[in-house]
């Protein structure tokens, strides 16, 4: 039984064209998978389907053999931590309180217990937010909010972590720290799936890439295969180039 199995998975909005169109894929942790593709390719919708937040119009998305959208919410959240692209509005909570929301699936009363506090402290430490614990979430910058939401996902202690454009608001230092953290989660046995537009970083850090094109899975493989330049040029309609510097580091660029 696979941790994640997508079988002929399909989804459309309001009976329109398929946004996710017949995707077949499987995944087991530990691993770090990037979902990439042009705007409108279906990346975020696919992540929402895996998170059980959308109902397929066809096919299936199963987590440990169970249909994701049919699972009880508490059971689902113990399996999957999901950080969407859109940040919540002006919520009147401190950073510590927001991070503790990751413990809701384990709720055993009105107040957190020692396990909850330990998970929160771990999440704050790993996201370098210990000095932010008393600050209001609404007063943070976009990048700081993104780190808090990631900390809440870590606090959830789910074996699968889904991230939609997690570096969208991060500066280079925090972006580099985030990718190192994702690799640490993989090393700890988690299955991490991240939607990103940063193809070069996906190639550098991920074990596997799912390349989407108009809702279909155009490639599924290791970065050097999935991100083959001819395929990328066809999907993104711009030339791509692989390079290697004197130190042997390989990187990807695009444009004429």
State whether the Cα torsion 170-171-177-183 is positive or negative. Answer: positive
**71 in any annotated domain:** yes
The two three-digit tokens of residue 81, written as one number:
């931590």
Mean pLDDT of the chain: 93
Quote the domain boundaries for residue 200: 4-89+158-254
**240 in any annotated domain:** yes
Average pLDDT over residues 172-192: 93
**123 in any annotated domain:** no
Q: What is the largest CA-CA distance in the chain?
A: 59
**209 in any annotated domain:** yes
- pLDDT over 70 at 245, yes or no: yes
State the pLDDT confidence band at 108, using cuts at 50, 70 and 90: low
pLDDT computed for residue 233 by the predictor: 96
**139 in any annotated domain:** no
**Taking the C-alpha atoms of 80, 85, 88 and 93 in order, what is their torsion angle to the nearest 10 degrees?**
60
pLDDT computed for residue 128 by the predictor: 92
pLDDT computed for residue 168 by the predictor: 80
**220 in any annotated domain:** yes
Contact 209, 219 (CB under 8 A): yes
**101 in any annotated domain:** no
Q: DSSP letters of 56-122?
A: -SEEEEEETTEEGGGS-HHHHHHHEEEE-SSPP-----BHHHHHHGGGGGG--SSS--HHHHHHHHH
- pLDDT over 80 at 111, yes or no: no
Query: Model confidence over 78-102: pLDDT tens digits?
Result: 999 999 887 776 788 999 999 999 9
Cβ atoms within 10 Å of 127's Cβ, excluding its own? 26
Instruction: Give the CATH number of the domain where residue 71 resides.
Output: 3.40.50.300
Query: Model confidence over 121-173: pLDDT tens digits?
Result: 999 999 999 999 999 999 998 888 889 999 999 999 999 999 999 988 788 99
pLDDT computed for residue 169 by the predictor: 79
Q: How many domains does the chain have?
A: 1
**136 in any annotated domain:** no
State the pLDDT confidence band at 112, using cuts at 50, 70 and 90: confident
What percent of the chain clears pLDDT 70, i.e. is strictly above it?
Answer: 98
pLDDT computed for residue 109 by the predictor: 57
Average pLDDT over residues 34-61: 97
């Amino acid at each position: 039984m696979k941790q994640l199995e997508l079988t002929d998975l399909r989804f459309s909005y309001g009976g329109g064209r398929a946004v996710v169109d017949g995707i077949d894929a499987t995944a087991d942790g530990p691993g770090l998978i990037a979902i990439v593709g042009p705007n409108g390719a279906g990346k975020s919708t696919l992540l929402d389907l895996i998170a059980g937040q959308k109902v397929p119009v066809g096919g299936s998305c199963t987590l440990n053999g169970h249909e994701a959208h049919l699972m009880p919410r508490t059971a689902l959240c113990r399996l999957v931590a999901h950080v969407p692209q859109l940040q919540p509005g002006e919520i009147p909570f401190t950073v510590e309180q927001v991070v503790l929301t990751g413990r809701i699936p384990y709720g055993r009363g009105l107040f957190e217990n020692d396990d909850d506090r330990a998970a929160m402290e771990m999440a704050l430490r790993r996201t370098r937010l210990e000095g932010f614990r008393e600050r209001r979430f609404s007063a943070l910058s976009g990048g700081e909010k993104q780190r808090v939401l990631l900390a809440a996902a870590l606090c959830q202690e789910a074996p699968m972590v889904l991230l939609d454009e997690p570096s969208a608001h991060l500066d280079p230092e925090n972006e580099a720290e985030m990718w190192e953290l994702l690799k640490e989660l993989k090393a700890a046995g988690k299955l991490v799936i991240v939607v990103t537009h940063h193809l070069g970083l996906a190639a550098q850090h991920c074990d596997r890439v799912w390349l989407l094109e108009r809702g279909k899975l155009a490639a599924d493989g290791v970065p050097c295969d999935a991100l083959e330049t001819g395929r990328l040029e066809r999907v993104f309609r711009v030339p791509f180039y692989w390079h290697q510097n004197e130190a042997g580091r390989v990187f990807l660029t695009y444009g004429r």
